[in-house]
Amino acid sequence: MESKDILILANGEIRDEIIAAGIEMLRTGASADDVAEKVARDVEDDADEHSVGFSGLPNVLGVVELDASFMEGRNRRAGAVAGVRNFRNPIVLARAVMERTPHVLLVGAGAERFGDEIGAERKEMLTEAARNIWIERMHKIGLSDFDIQALQNPLAPQAALIDIVQRAFNMRDGSDTMNVFVRDASGHIVTAVTTSGVAWKYPGRAGDSPIIGAGNYADDRYGAAACMGLGEIAIRVGASARGVHNLRFGMSMDEAGADVCREMSSYLAKGQWVRMLMLDAKTGSVGGYATAEGLHYKVQRLNEDRPTKYEAMKIAA
């Protein structure tokens, strides 16, 4: 494998130092698995990032619920967790589901029990900054301070949430899932995806990120794909698996990404968007495909000093 083919591909929002530190690990011979986990963990720990991990935006009740998945392209093994509360690094749980259980996806209380069993670090993930954004959004959709307090009080009668979620969703914030692709010296591809999901979601809602084939897919033979944006659309299209299968059946990467994005475009309502990143295993090229403008990704190859930022190609419906 030439050094230019060893790389990290990730969201444009991820800080350069985090990606460069991952490349340094690859230079010293670390596996794609270890590098993908480390980069994803660093992003989860970043308090300035409100779409993932610590300081992620909460659900409609003001509780942070995290989704993550981890996939190995070598053998298509995968692990994921959804709706996890109070764990510092959900990506650690996702990788451990793959390595230590016969399952692919654990959700909610079961995923948290598993996290405790493997000794994963617990942490309160809601920060003051994220809580203030939530309160502001609830006020904007017409809730009073009394209503907001009731949402948080487990002893208060259960509020009807469907209408609140519908109103909050129309004024959606965040949803910048973090996608991390790593290809190591053995040509092995690993994808790690982690998010706090769409803000103000109904409790228990899982997006595309923990759904293998929707928000994350890797196959060393053909390539890899991962999504950000409105997860419901990526789930309905089976976006990431479809992107990789398009490569398998002979499309170029641009054709493969455009096909998936065009299909997703046709499901979107006003103001909604989706973006998919791709890595073509055969050519080593990377790309981003989006239904909206202004969505970026970064790539750094082993022979480069720092990541380069690109804008994803806008695909019209």
Residue (92 or 230) nearer to ligand GLY, CB: 230
Smallest separation (angstroms) from ligand GLY to the CB of 67: 6
Q: How far apart are CA 132 and CA 293, in angstroms?
A: 28
79 lies in the binding site for ligand GLY (CB under 6 A): no
What single-letter DSSP state applies at residue 87?
B
Nearer to ligand GLY by Cβ, of 216 and 300: the residue is: 216
* Distance of closest approach, residue 105 Cβ to ligand GLY, in angstroms: 14
Q: Among all chains, which residue has been given the structure tokens 């990704």?
A: 297
**Distance separating alpha carbons of residues 95 and 81, to the nearest angstrom:** 9
Cβ neighbours of residue 160 under 8 Å, at least 6 residues apart? Answer: none
Instruction: Lay out the site mask for ligand GLY across 199-238 (x = CB under 6 A, - = otherwise).
Output: --------xxx-----x------------xxxx-------
Report strand pairing: 78-84 vs 308-311: unpaired
Q: What is the DSSP letter of 155?
A: T
101 given a catalytic annotation? no
* Residue placing its CB nearer to ligand GLY in the complex, 88 or 201: 201
Q: How many CB atoms lie within 10 A of CB 259?
A: 16
Catalytic residue among 28, 127, 177, 308: 177
Nearer to ligand GLY, 89 or 175 (CB): 175
CB 81 within 8 A of CB 94: yes
CB of 274 to ligand GLY, least distance (A): 8
Binding mask 157-176 for ligand GLY (x = CB under 6 A): ------------------x-
Q: Do the Cβ atoms of 211 and 80 come closer than 8 Å? A: yes
290: Cβ–Cβ under 8 A, 6 or more apart, which residues? Answer: 229, 261, 273, 274, 275, 276, 312, 313, 314, 315
**From the list 59, 69, 89, 177, which residue makes contact with ligand GLY (rule: CB under 6 A)?**
177
- Residue 63: how many other CB atoms lie within 10 Å: 16
Minimum distance from residue 207 beta carbon to ligand GLY (Å): 2
Minimum distance from CB of 82 to ligand GLY (Å)? Answer: 9
Compare residues 67 and 184 and give the one whose CB is closer to ligand GLY: 67
- Contact between 198 and ligand GLY (CB under 6 A)? yes
CA-CA distance, 271 to 263, in Å (whole number)?
17
Binding site for ligand GLY (CB under 6 A): 175, 177, 195, 197-198, 207-209, 215, 228-231
Catalytic residues: 177
